[in-house]
Structures are given as structure tokens and as C-alpha cells.
Amino acid sequence: MSKSAAFFYTPDFLRYRFGEEHPFNPLRLELTVDLLHDCKLLDPADCLPPRVATADELATFHDPSYIETVRETSLLGYPTAEAAAHDLGTEDNPVFADMHEATAAVVGATLQAGETVMEGKAEHALNLAGGLHHAHRKRASGFCIYNDVAILIHFLRRKYQARVAYVDTDAHHGDGVQWAFYDDPEVLTISLHETGRYLFPGSGYLHELGEGRGYGYAVNVPLEAFTQDASFTECFETVVPTLLRAFEPDVIVSQNGCDGHVWDPLTHLSLTSLSFRRVPEVVHRLAHELAGGRWIALGGGGYDIWRVVPRAWATLWSELSGRPLPPRIPSSWIDRWQPKAPERLPESFDDDADTAPPIPRRREIEEKNRITARAAVENASPLVRGIRGMA
């Protein structure tokens, strides 16, 4: 009998580091894994060592010239004019030593997660270092060098001819994945994110619906700034179950960025632990209802690395593995990390009721989001059902 869930991790993931002052800090992975161990949620048998993706695997999505530029820049350790043409060496995407190898390890783990699920060795698999959804075919973007998500979906399509549903709840639009499959009716991309009016990458609007045979298979729910839990979960549950049931996927891939939390320093959503508990619950249920349990979960954004990311991602693994969280965060974990943390570490996995302060425009925000979610379904759902019925 296969295991319920597989967890892919290696300390080599900590090499994916843009610098001391950069917000994308891999310490969040170490904090999360350490918390899982202290909670006794991670057995040695769960953890599978990932491999490094090959150049051929990277080239299923990325242009070979871009891969070679990343490799050469990694060896040099500083950006060249050629690297700058691919948006390497920018403030968002600084060059760092072993950049190619570190990112290829993330991609390799994501591919292994896909293999593990599709070969029936586990129903679910998690790679918290993955979810690098902004990288494009020929350029880096938004802290993402290689797009492990796009490479995974290409792999699932080519090797298993799978219909793939991609659900992205990062606060930033999953643009790199959307554009990669914008004309593919066998890949449904759904992204719930803060509106691009205020936030990078400035895309993800309702009118982005796909093109050609893929028209209707790109779905976006751009949420108002300061959206809180009730509105977020209402929009999620309005859109995701409806469209996944219409699409009938063979496998679900989820990107689980937790940068929509009210404490996150880079975004303007006002979510709490309630949202980061509810999303994996719904995706888990849909995976068993629609896809034979096949669910590949990835990490993503999250920049309050001390108070938010470890708790959100421990909650995600708890749902994937079917192991309940303890009543409180272990004191051993708090004692170990509090001296290094800039803020007081929470003692519970659940936020207090007053974590997200009242928003004066709450009713207006909720109504705007409600209209957006309904429009997303109205725009996409008939198209998905209609084209599916004609196939």
C-alpha cells in the first residue's frame, strides 16, 4: 500500500539564497522543518531526498540559451550584460553562487514529487522549496530563477498525458505558469491573488482567460487590498470547486504561498491562519473527489518567516499527511528560535481573533470581491464545460 504523503527536503535548498537583506530567505524552510520535527509530524520515512533536475528537464519549459546563461552566471558569481538581458542581477533576482545548481535542486524535488504521486507511491507529495511561479521561459522574475511549476506541468502532460488543474493562492499572481499554458485546454490555471493594480507582477485580471483552444482555461480572481478571511474563503469556495468539477482533472497541483497573511511585509491582504487552514482542506477534499487523491503541493511566497511561514506550512503538511497539529506550538521550538526572532513568536497555530484589525471598507471590499468571483465563474465555467463536452 502506498504512503499517504511524501515530503521532499534537503538542506541544499538553503543554498537558494539571494543575500542577507533579500526578503526571500530560505531560513523559513529550516524553521518549518524544525517545527514539524518538534511537533512529531514528520517521520524519517516521509522524507525523500530529491535529485537535481537535468538540463533537458529544465528545457521542457526554459529556453536552452537562458539555462546556459544561468549556468555561466552561477560560475562567474556576478551579472554580465547577457545575464542582465534575462533579468538576472536585478534587485529582485540578484546573482548568487551556485544559483543554477540550487534552483535545479528545487526543480528536481518538484519533479520527484510529481513522479511519486503519478506512480502511486504516495497519494500526495509536498515540496516547500517549490512554487517558483514567476519565472518565464527566457528570464528570471520575482525571486524565481527556474519555474519548477511549469516544468512539472509539462512533465505531467508529456509522461502521463494528465489533465492538470493548477490552484495558486499566493498573494502574487501566478503569471509564469499562466502564460506557459495560456493556449492549452488540458491545463486549467486558477490564481487567487491581490489585484495587480497595487502589487507585482501587475497581471492576473479577469479578462486574462487564455487564447485559442485554451480560451476559458485561465482563471483569475484579483482580490481587493485588505481582503480578510471571510471574503477570501468565500471567493475561493465559489470558484475553485465549481471549476475543478467542470474540468475533471487527473491531478491537482497547488501553490501555497502564505504571503497573504496580514503580517506579511510585502503584500496588502489581511488574511490569518484561518485561510491557510481552509485552502488545503478544500484542495485535499477535491483531490480525492476528482483526481483519485493525486495532489502535488508546493510552497511559494511568504516573507514573515518567523511568525507566519512555519505555522502555515506546518498546517499544510498536517492536512496532506492526515496527522493533526498539536494543541500548541512546542515550547522547545520557541525556546530554540525566539532569541533570533525579531518579533515574539506565536504560541498557537491559530491566530487570535484580533490578529487582522477591523477594516473600515470591509463591506465594500467584500462586495467587490464577491462580484469578481462570480464573474470569474461566469467567464470561465461555461467555456470549460462546453469545450469539455465537445471533446
What sign results for the dihedral spanned by CA atoms 233, 238, 241, 243?
negative
Q: What is the dihedral of CA 213, 217, 218, 222, to 10 degrees?
A: 140
Residue 238 C-alpha cell reads as 465559489
Query: For residue 59, is it left (φ>0), alpha (ψ between -120 and 50) or beta?
Result: alpha
Task: Using CB atoms within 10 Å of the CB of residue 51, give its burial: 0 to 12 exposed, 13 to 18 middle, 19+ buried.
Answer: middle
Residue 188 makes CB contacts below 8 A (sequence gap 6+) with 163, 164, 165, 166, 217, 219, 243, 244, 247, 249, 384
323 Rama class: left (phi>0) / alpha (psi -120 to 50) / beta: beta
C-alpha cell of residue 323? 496527522
Reduced to 3 states (helix: H, G, I; strand: E, B; else coil), residue 147 is: coil
What span, in angstroms and rounded, lies between the C-alpha atoms of 39 and 33? 10
The closest alpha carbon to 185, from 241, 238, 247, 239, belongs to 247
Is 86 an annotated catalytic residue? no
- CA dihedral in degrees (380, 132, 106, 118; nearest 10)? -10
Catalytic: which of 134, 136, 154, 261? Answer: 134
**What amino acid positions are annotated as catalytic residues?**
134
